Amino acid sequence: MENAGNEVVFKKETVAKLLARSFKEDKTKVSSDAVMLVAEMLKVFVEEATRRAVKQADSEDCDTVDIEHFEKILPQLVSFVYACA
């Protein structure tokens, strides 16, 4: 994952490798459009996780976001992913 300014960007090669690892058949191919779509979905997921963790930290009057804040929002985030699927 790269960070261009404040924008989250995933390398196409990394996303393609992640997808390939989930395939049962080694011969399965994925189009570049599919890789770009999954990269965009990952971007949205990471941005949403960040927003929710920041909101959680703010609600606890914390100046920094740490792993505990992400752990607290994780159940919400998993529900968010399943609702979008």
pLDDT in tens, 48-60: 999 999 999 999 9
Q: Coil, helix or strand for 18?
A: helix
Superfamily name with CATH number, domain 2-84 = Histone, subunit A (1.10.20.10)
**Whether 48 contacts 77, CB under 8 Å:** yes
Query: Quick one: pLDDT at residue 2?
Result: 56
Residue 56 vs residues 18, 73, 79: alpha-carbon distances, Å: 29, 7, 17
Per-residue model confidence as pLDDT tens digits over 5-37: 677 789 999 999 999 998 998 889 999 999 999
- DSSP code per residue over 20-71: HHH-SSTT----HHHHHHHHHHHHHHHHHHHHHHHHHHHHTT-SS--HHHHH
